[in-house]
Amino acid sequence: MSTGEPARLAWFKSSYSGNEGGACVEVAIDNSAMVHIRDSKEPAKAQLAFQEAQWAAFVDFAAQG
């Protein structure tokens, strides 16, 4: 689901992300437990939002390699 930015999200990058640029994402969780994802290089552009369970399933899948 694509979404505009809800008011006052606290965005953070993965501890694996460096400061030298590259492909990084930022994540924020709102009060309704929706997980918001955006490109750290272009934060004003489109974002995605997922239910917490959907995001957890994706992370589990990605961690399997």
pLDDT in tens, 16-25: 776 666 678 8
**Boundaries of every domain in the chain:** 2-63
Mean pLDDT to the nearest integer, 26-45: 89
| Residue 2, strand partner residues | 48
Closest by Cα among 43, 18, 61, 57 to 27: 43
Instruction: Answer left, alpha or beta for residue 20, where phi above 0 means left and psi between -120 and 50 means alpha.
Output: alpha
Average pLDDT, the chain: 83
Asked whether the predicted pLDDT for residue 34 surpasses 80, the reply is: yes
| Residue 34, strand partner residues | 51
Cα separation, 38 vs 48, in Å, equals 7
| Distance, CA of 11 to chain centre | 8
Answer with the residue of higher pLDDT: 46 or 65: 46
